[in-house]
Chain A
Amino acid sequence: MKFTLSWLKEHLETDASLDVIVETLTRIGLEVESVDDPGKKLAGFTIAYVISAEQHPNADRLRVCMVETGAGAPVQVVCGAPNARTGMKSVFSPPGTYIPGKDITIGKGVIRGVESSGMLCSGRELEISEDHDGILDLPADAPVGAIYAEWAKLSDPVIEINLTPNRPDATGVFGIARDLAAAGLGKLKDAGIPAVKGDSACTVPVKLDFTGDDRALCPAFALRLVRGVKNGPSPEWMQKRLRAIGLRPINALVDITNYVTYDRGRPLHVFDAAKVHGPLVVRRAKEGESLLALDGKTYALDTAMVVIADNNGPESIAGIMGGEVSGCDENTVDVLIESALWSPLNIAQTGRKLGISTDARYRFERGIDPAFTLPGIELATKLVTDLCGGTPSQVTLEGSVPEVEKIVDFPISEVKRLTGLEVAQVEMKAILNALGFWVSGNGPMLKVAVPSWRPDIEGKADLVEEIVRIVGVDSVPLVPIQRVDEVHKPVLTALQQRTRIARRALASRGLVEAVTWSFVSKKAAVLFGGGKPELALANPIASELSDMRPSLMPGLVMASQRNADRGYADVALFEVGQVFKGDGERDQRIAAAGLRRGLAASEGTGRHWTGSSEADVYDVKADVLATLASMSVPTGGMQIVSTNLPEFLHPGRSAILRFGPKDIIGWFGELHPRAVDALGAEGRIVAFEVVLDGLPSPKKKATKAKAKLDLAELQPVSRDFAFVVDQKVEAETLLRLARGIDKTLVQDVTIFDVYAGKGVEPGKVSIGLAVTLQPREKTLTDTEIEAFSGKLVSEVTAKTGAVLRG
């Protein structure tokens, strides 16, 4: 919503400065978006008197003028204007002034050998008109030395407010003035709008063609004919205001409707009566109808929309835009003025569907003041007869203007209760009255009648807001909230805490946290086990962002490829975020996933003199195990199995993590080349993903004391074994067998060597096991150690076909 300062002052008697007005508007909830003062850029231009204008000695077309500027001695100016003459008054700009029409800053100069200290200006140079035939020629009484823009009243700042959708009353300058008056900035000039007498009945009949609930689409429709008008350009003052707020003046009749729209928040429409055939019928549009509207576009209409039609069909889209055919132009002699009420919802829906934003729609969809339907047409009639002449008919009113009778019981204690602010009852009443509310009663409970222009006021909290916004939210004192008188208890849930820890753990391992879209392409969703219809967006913003992600992996893979495309092929990324298993409220999980690509191995990224290696599955296995460990997940019962792998994983280099066949928590491994390809990426990518919801927690204990440390007094004994086994035998089998020989005696089994190649039969691998035995009560004898070793060797060879390496 835009208006100018002078326009505002037409409705508000005030001495307040522009700055105070602007600051107050924002303070009372009419947020000022911008203030544009066209006078400001003309501040350097003053009115001057040309003492003499004589022929330039060296140039036929130039004159040398002595100019009295009102500031000090007269100055000499060389001027090329043909109208420059002795004794005239014009506009002067001293050296250093920016000339907007020329986009230059003038300086002192010598023109054809004559000094020139400043410039006499044309209208075009000031960007106030197109005139550049000569310098501005001001009347003799123009005061020398005065700022020209002020004297010429060019200085009319344009204020734009960012209006919230609940304030239709502030879509008109008058309503804004009322708010400012209530805020103590002056007096609202509310003279009322007298009715204009009509000499006869309106000859164009109106029919509201609605039944039942449809009647709400147009509760009231007022129409008046003014005969014998002379339509031409509207007066300068009106054009100036319309232009200032960004509207193009068209002709007086059209300008009047625009003017009343902005002045009162009351949209109107005018038809050229000569172009209307038969009665005006307000009805739903028929399927297949269309209208060539005033913006020159043809709109296809449907039965959800309301039109004003004549015998030829629709002439106007109700409350949104008129038709080109029946519009007024300079030939219009008889004009029909329409002031109607429309359903805000229907106007909003029609406007959205047609994609039309107009000043009329902007107001009707917010809900205009129904009580102003008739005053609106009277005001328009007055302006039409004043500016264009003509003889008005009486007003035809079809339907009826609904009476707004909303009364709120208002306990005045609500102000203190909801805001903490103390406001005297008398002040509350004064504020409400100034805003147009009727207040009755005295004491703790008031009855407040809501004015017709405030459809947003429903209950007592709304009245609290009215009072607080006018008093000023800034005057509400700050009150500290009560703090607990003990040390704070933890506030994070176990899952929230684990989510935080997982992030820090993964970052500590050198991975970089990404945040990728929650939606992925259908193809990517299907690839990772998603793509259910209930998780497909009905209105995705792009086809590659169509389905809720079942996994963090597609987003990370695509991100890694984007980095590779930029020349960063060695990346280690992770994300901890939501994944979706269904559309139920319990179907959302928090997953932690990471990937490594290229030389982003766990010992470091990129090539290095100590050796560089490609990231492999053991890096991501370590990542996922470290993550689980960081969250204190007891992994004793966890199985790492390489059967029944999801299809997006490399069948020979991947595993799933589970606590049982039905309790799968995640996976790690190399992504299947087909999956990588399907995601538009390339190269080997190793990755992992684990779902954090429902991971087991350590057993709760009565106290925080850790289990007693059991230190053996005897030294441990270590023995190494090297077995040659078939490559299909998993290392885990050997480890499990070794541990199983004597669970109390075996403290640790590690694999210190894995070798295949020269000296080992093809298809076989040599695995070195280091077994640590921890004697408890007495030192182990050589015989006991020999016995253990023998048992281990025979067990392993029997169960795996291994051969002890010599």
Chain B
Amino acid sequence: MSDLSTLESTLLAEIAAASSEDAIEAVRVSALGKKGSVSALLSTLGAMAPDERKAAGAAINALKDRVSEALGARKGVLKEAALDQRLAAERLDITLPTRESGIEAGRIHPISQVMDELTAIFADLGFAIAEGPDVESDDLNFTKLNFPPHHPAREMHDTFFFAPNEAGERKLLRTHTSPVQVRTMLAQKPPIRVICPGRTYRCDSDQTHTPMFHQVEGLVIDKTANLGQLKWVLEEFCKAFFEVPSVKMRFRPSFFPFTEPSMEVDIQCSRKGGEIRFGEGEDWLEILGCGMVHANVLRNCGLDPDAVQGYAWGMGIDRIAMLKYGMPDLRPFFEADVRWLKHYGFRPLDLPTLAGGLSV
């Protein structure tokens, strides 16, 4: 039997020494292949006596099993090693930078973002979004809004005009979005709840004024609309928009041709280090004008001022954007400087919602 144990130790040594999958295959063939050393031993069994065959057969088969097992084990080790080697060779430098994707690079302009914020807030209060043309008639921009015939706003000095047309009518660029209020009242029966965001124009160009700017106005007409409701709407708006738990507002009597009583509204804030914070501080910052819709305006729009009543307000979208997001100047809003847009703009999927919050 010492032949068997010699063979076994020889084979096991060969298996252990095999350093590649090819080498281990050669050992397998040399041992278990048709002409292999173990196969040769098995073929000697036929010539043996039954008793001898039984004993020798068991020993040879045990040898075969042990060699097979060793082959399998070694093969597994070599396969793992080969895989490790491949993977090591496949290493990539994961610190190499990727390209910035569109969703990272793109931006939404602050004006669009704030318009979406306004929409989210006022839609929740049941307001629709009304729009109208930028090129307006004098009638809708001034006359119907109770501007007297020679009001200074009607001068070329303040308002952009077009040349008179064949009918002698001189169109203009709307100076506020109030003509949209007029259009709404002319087109729709009360109750009315709309906000009118849009582009507006005045002949003004200096550090704090641009010839084009954006406004949002609101209008409510029904049988009970009053100043107390107006104050509530504006306070709720300011809290929601500026995303603060409370605001303190100051309503100052003022004057506009299209409202009576009229008020300007200041919001309390603190200014520290050029940063404006609402809901604290001792400073007052004017943010909007408002009032009860003037009886003449209601009449001009075919409504009976004793049967229905309403309130309206207006404010600058660019201005409230500046107040909320801290842009120091108005002019860069329209200069399309990508450095400004990238910095103050919003990411494509920063969708303002009441459910998810207006801003990140």
CB atoms of A464 and B163 under 8 A apart: no
Q: Which of B232-273 contact A (CB under 8 A)?
A: 232-233, 235, 250-255, 260-264
B136 CB to nearest chain A CB (Å):
8
The contact of A510 among B102, B173, B309, by CB within 8 Å, is: B102
B2 CB to nearest chain A CB (Å):
63
Chain B residues engaging chain A, CB cutoff 8 angstroms: 96-97, 99-109, 111-112, 116, 119, 123-129, 131-135, 150, 152, 155-157, 160-163, 165, 170-171, 173, 199, 201, 203, 205, 211-212, 220, 226-229, 231-233, 235, 250-255, 260-264, 292, 294-295, 309, 333-339, 341-342, 345, 347-349, 351
CB atoms of A352 and B152 under 8 A apart: yes
CB atoms of A488 and B150 under 8 A apart: no
The 4 closest A-B pairs by CB, nearest first: A29-B253, A420-B228, A604-B99, A510-B102
The contact of B255 among A165, A484, A610, by CB within 8 Å, is: A165
- Chain A residues with CB under 8 Å of B165's CB are 534, 583
Q: Of all chain B residues, which has the CB nearest A541?
A: B211
Given A418-B227, A510-B105, A461:B339 Cβ within 8 A: no
Q: Kindly supply a per-residue 1/0 record for chain A positions 159-177, scoring 1 wherever the CB is within 8 Å of any chain B CB and 0 otherwise.
A: 0000011110000000000
Given A548-B135, A573-B336, A476:B199 Cβ within 8 A: no
Selecting from A429-437, A515-523, A721-729, the interface stretch reads A515-523
Assembly CA distance A474 to B248 (angstroms) = 11
Assembly CA distance A608 to B100 (angstroms) = 10
Assembly CA distance A564 to B24 (angstroms) = 67
The contact of B228 among A421, A503, A541, A571, by CB within 8 Å, is: A421
CB atoms of B161 and A417 under 8 A apart: no
Given contact pairs A468-B227, A479-B231, A481-B229, enumerate 16 new A-B contacts (beta carbons under 8 Å): A418-B292, A418-B309, A459-B295, A461-B295, A465-B261, A473-B227, A473-B263, A476-B227, A477-B228, A480-B229, A481-B220, A483-B125, A504-B348, A513-B341, A545-B211, A563-B336
- Chain B residues with CB under 8 Å of A473's CB are 227, 251-253, 261, 263
Interface status of A152 (Cβ within 8 A of chain B): no
The contact of B160 among A462, A540, A608, by CB within 8 Å, is: A540
What are 13 A-to-B residue pairs whose CB atoms are below 8 Å?
A: A164-B254, A418-B292, A420-B229, A476-B227, A481-B126, A481-B229, A491-B129, A493-B129, A504-B348, A512-B106, A535-B135, A573-B336, A583-B165
- Chain A residues with CB under 8 Å of B124's CB are 488
Interface status of A31 (Cβ within 8 A of chain B): yes
Q: Of all chain B residues, which has the CB nearest A419?
A: B227
Assembly CA distance A116 to B199 (angstroms) = 66
Interface status of A247 (Cβ within 8 A of chain B): no
- Chain A residues with CB under 8 Å of B229's CB are 420, 479-481
Q: Of all chain A residues, which has the CB nearest B131?
A: A496
Q: How large is the interface on A (under 10, 10 to 19, 20 to 34, 35 or more residues)?
A: 35 or more
The contact of B102 among A519, A563, A602, by CB within 8 Å, is: A602
CB atoms of B203 and A514 under 8 A apart: no
A336 CB to nearest chain B CB (Å):
31
Q: Of all chain B residues, which has the CB nearest A538?
A: B161
Given A507-B108, A518-B201, A164:B227 Cβ within 8 A: no
Q: Of all chain A residues, which has the CB nearest B122?
A: A491
CB atoms of A352 and B157 under 8 A apart: yes
Interface status of A703 (Cβ within 8 A of chain B): no
Q: Of all chain B residues, which has the CB nearest A29?
A: B253
Interface centre among B129, B212, B252, B294 (most CB of A within 10 A): B252
Interface status of A753 (Cβ within 8 A of chain B): no
Assembly CA distance A588 to B133 (angstroms) = 6
The contact of A512 among B107, B111, B171, B201, by CB within 8 Å, is: B107
Assembly CA distance A491 to B339 (angstroms) = 34
Q: Which of A293-331 contact B (CB under 8 A)?
A: none
The contact of A513 among B108, B119, B132, by CB within 8 Å, is: B108
Interface centre among B105, B124, B170, B254 (most CB of A within 10 A): B105
Assembly CA distance A580 to B163 (angstroms) = 16
- Chain B residues with CB under 8 Å of A507's CB are 102, 106-108, 347-348
Assembly CA distance A806 to B116 (angstroms) = 58
A310 CB to nearest chain B CB (Å):
30
Assembly CA distance A610 to B100 (angstroms) = 12
Given A474-B251, A548-B135, A421:B227 Cβ within 8 A: yes
The contact of A578 among B127, B134, B341, by CB within 8 Å, is: B134
The contact of B253 among A465, A479, A519, by CB within 8 Å, is: A465
Assembly CA distance A555 to B341 (angstroms) = 15
CB atoms of B212 and A500 under 8 A apart: no
CB atoms of A604 and B220 under 8 A apart: no
Given A28-B253, A474-B251, A562-B335, A420:B226 Cβ within 8 A: yes
- Chain B residues with CB under 8 Å of A568's CB are 338-339
Interface status of A712 (Cβ within 8 A of chain B): no
Assembly CA distance A587 to B171 (angstroms) = 13
B78 CB to nearest chain A CB (Å):
37
Q: Which of A505-543 contact B (CB under 8 A)?
A: 506-519, 533-541
CB atoms of B235 and A478 under 8 A apart: yes
Q: Of all chain B residues, which has the CB nearest A510?
A: B102
Assembly CA distance A506 to B108 (angstroms) = 9
A195 CB to nearest chain B CB (Å):
35
- Chain A residues with CB under 8 Å of B341's CB are 512-514
Q: Of all chain B residues, which has the CB nearest A540?
A: B160
Interface centre among A28, A469, A571, A605 (most CB of B within 10 A): A469
B154 CB to nearest chain A CB (Å):
11
B95 CB to nearest chain A CB (Å):
12
CB atoms of A481 and B233 under 8 A apart: yes
A101 CB to nearest chain B CB (Å):
31
- Chain A residues with CB under 8 Å of B112's CB are 503, 513, 515, 576
CB atoms of B260 and A462 under 8 A apart: yes
Q: Which of A13-67 contact B (CB under 8 A)?
A: 26-29, 31
- Chain A residues with CB under 8 Å of B264's CB are 31
Interface status of A348 (Cβ within 8 A of chain B): yes
Q: Of all chain B residues, which has the CB nearest A456?
A: B255
The contact of A509 among B102, B133, B292, by CB within 8 Å, is: B102
Interface centre among B125, B127, B348 (most CB of A within 10 A): B348
- Chain B residues with CB under 8 Å of A701's CB are none
Interface status of A201 (Cβ within 8 A of chain B): no
Q: Kindly supply a per-residue 1/0 record for chain A positions 549-580, scoring 1 wherever the CB is within 8 Å of any chain B CB and 0 otherwise.
A: 00000011001001100101001110011101
